[in-house]
Amino acid sequence: MSHLINISEAASLALHGLAIVAQKNPEKVNAKYIAEKLNASEAHLAKIFQRLSKSGLIKSFRGPTGGFVLNKPVEEISFLDIYEIVESKIIINDCPLHKTGCPFENCIFGDALKNISQSIYQTFKNIKLSDFTE
């Protein structure tokens, strides 16, 4: 079974987790709470939020009453931002044979991959945390 679109569970967890943080905004929300809500492993989720925090998308606070809060307005955080942090940089034009001297002068996929990638890119950009705060 294969997904056509490449979204790791980590990226999805990040989006869902941040949606919860956005809903509680400006309260702090800790990793344990989010993990429980999402039926996810706390260790795993903590790791993901660590990266989000390091990137500056959220702020973190240690100690009792600690947790995470958004570091930007909800309208300014898109799934694209999250995706790029969690999955590292995005490749837009990506025939897997591009590297190893492909014998076809014109890429066999034509513009198809680039076009789709761009459409995915736009779609991800249009999904914002503000969509979930109602």
Partner DNA sequence: TTAATTCTGGTACTCAAATACCGAAATAGG
Partner DNA sequence: CCTATTTCGGTATTTGAGTACCAGAATTAA
| Residues of the shown chain interacting with DNA in the complex, contacts defined by CB under 7 A | 8-10, 30-32, 41, 43-44, 46-47, 49-50, 53-54, 60-68, 87
Q: Report the distance separating Cα 92 and Cα 111, nearest Å.
A: 11
Question: If contact means CB under 5 to 8 A according to the sort of partner, which of its own copies, DNA, none does residue 16 touch?
Answer: its own copies
Residues 129/70, Cβ–Cβ less than 8 Å: yes
Q: Report the distance separating Cα 17 and Cα 29, nearest Å.
A: 10
Residue corresponding to tokens 């990793």: 31
Identified binder of its own copies from the candidate list 62, 103, 105, 134, rule CB under 8 A: 103
> For DNA, which is the closer residue by CB, 2 or 106?
2
Q: Report the distance separating Cα 110 and Cα 36, nearest Å.
A: 45
Q: Report the distance separating Cα 102 and Cα 108, nearest Å.
A: 9
Question: If contact means CB under 5 to 8 A according to the sort of partner, which of DNA, its own copies, none does residue 44 touch?
Answer: DNA
SS3 of 77, please? coil
Binding stretches for its own copies (CB under 8 A):
1-9, 11-13, 15-16, 19, 37-40, 83, 87-92, 94-97, 100-104, 108-110, 112-113, 115-117, 119-121, 123, 126-127, 131-132
